[in-house]
Amino acid sequence: MVKKLTSKERLTRQARGQEVDRIPSIGGWMEGVRNMAYLAGISVQEYMQDPLQGVVKANLNLGADGLVSPIIPHRLDEVRTGYVLDDRFQGIEPEAILKAAELLPDSERKVLDSFDPVAEERRYREYFESAFRNWNGLEPIPNFWEIGGHFPLYTEFGYTAFFMACSLYPEAVGKIWWARSLMSRERAKILVGLYREYDLVPLMFCGEDLCNNKGPMISPDFLRAYYFPTVAMIIEPLVDAGVRCIHHCDGDVRPILGDLISIGFSGLQGFQYELGIDPYELRKLRSRMGEELLFFTGLSVTRTLPFGTVEDVKKEVDYFLDFTDGGRGMFLFTSNVTGVEVPPENILAAYHHVKNWNPEEPRVITHTQWPWAKDHPEI
C-alpha cells in the first residue's frame, strides 16, 4: 500500500502512471457566488469580501488536490461566462479574416520579431507565484488556452464570418493559425523551463472547443490540413519534456480523437456521454508514445450534476472508476463549468465520494453503461 501522499506527489505520480494512495481531484470550474459560499462553508457576505479566497476555501473543502485557472464568481446575478453571441459581430464579413491574414508576415522570423520572451516569461511567472502565494497548497494545474491552439477565430470575427472564411479563404484562416501558433510554440518553450524550475505537476490542460453536439464544427480534413499541424508545433516542446497534455473534449469529439492523440495529446477531459461517447472505448486508446491515456473524468454538467441526486452523482463517480480500471490515470474533475443551477451538495458528494474510495478494497464492476442513461432513459 502506498504511503499517504501530498497533493503534489499524488498528482505527479498519477500523471506518470505510478501507484497513488487515492484518486487525485482537480477543481476550479464552478459558477455561482452562492454555490461557492456554500462549498466554502462561509456566508455570501464573507465570500464577497474576498472571492478568490472563497473559491480556494471551497476547493479545499472539496478535498481537491489542484486547481486549473479558477473561475471566480464576483456577482450574485452572474449566471454564465465565456459565451459568444453572433449578433455582436453583425456587419463583419469573411473578408475581414482575409485582410487580417494579409497583414501578417510570411516568414517565421518576421512573425517572431514582435514576440517578447521577457514579457511572456514574466506573465507566466506572475501566474505561478500568485498561485503559490494565494491558493493555500492547492497545486496549479497549468491551464493556458494559447498552448492548445488558436482555433476560435469566431470570438473575434463571429461564427458566420469564420465559417464562411474557412470555405472561401482557407489559406488565410490557416495563415492566422500558423502565425499565432509560432508565438505559442515560443511560449511553450518558456513553460518547459518554468516546469523544471518550479517542479510543477507535469500536466498541461488546454485545447479549444472544436466540436458541437453533431461533431467537428469544421470538417476533419480541413482541420488536418490547416489546424492540427499548428497545434502539434505548439505542444511539441512540452511533449518532448515529458509534460502530459490533456485536451478539452466538448461535443461529439469521436471523429477527431485519433488526430488529437497523433499530434501529441496523451489525455482527455470532459465528455458529453449523452452523445454516445463510450469511455470504455476511449480507455483502449494509447498515446503515440504507447502510454495509457490520462482522463480528467468529467462529472456531467448537462445531466447528472444539475438534475441528479447525490446517489446519481456517486454512481457516476463509480462509473469513472470502472472504466479506468480502478482509477488508473484518473483525475476527478467536471466536464465543463458547473452552472449556478447545480446543487452544491452534488458537487460535494462527488469529490468526497472519490476521496473516500479505498483502492485496496475489492472492486466489483457494476456500471458498464453510463448510469444516468440507464436510470433516466426519458431525459
pLDDT digits (tens, 9 = 90+) for 263-275: 999 999 999 999 9
Which of 115-124, 179-188, 239-248, 275-284 comes out lowest in average pLDDT? 275-284
- H/E stretch holding 246 reads strand 244-249
If pLDDT is split at 50, 70 and 90, which confidence band does 377 have?
confident
Global pTM value: 0.94
- Exposed (0-12), middle (13-18) or buried (19+): which is 112, by Cβ within 10 Å? middle
CB 367 within 8 A of CB 319: yes
210 domain-assigned: no
Regarding whether 11 and 124 lie in a shared domain, the answer is no
- Cα separation, 262 vs 202, in Å, equals 19
If pLDDT is split at 50, 70 and 90, which confidence band does 363 have?
low
Regarding whether 233 and 118 lie in a shared domain, the answer is yes
- Cα separation, 328 vs 295, in Å, equals 9
Domain containing residue 25:
1-81+266-379
State the average pLDDT for the chain.
95
165 domain-assigned: yes
- The residue assigned the cell 499524488 is 10
- Does residue 88 carry a pLDDT above 90? no
SS3 helix, strand, coil % of the chain, rounded to 5?
50, 10, 40
166 domain-assigned: yes
1 domain-assigned: yes
Regarding whether 369 and 319 lie in a shared domain, the answer is yes
- Identity at 15, one-letter amino acid code: A
Regarding whether 190 and 93 lie in a shared domain, the answer is yes
- Identity at 234, one-letter amino acid code: I
User: How many structural domains comprise the chain?
Assistant: 2
Which of 15-24, 78-87, 284-293, 328-337 comes out lowest in average pLDDT? 78-87
- Cα separation, 27 vs 304, in Å, equals 17
Regarding whether 91 and 192 lie in a shared domain, the answer is yes
Regarding whether 363 and 278 lie in a shared domain, the answer is yes
Three-state secondary-structure class, residue 268: strand
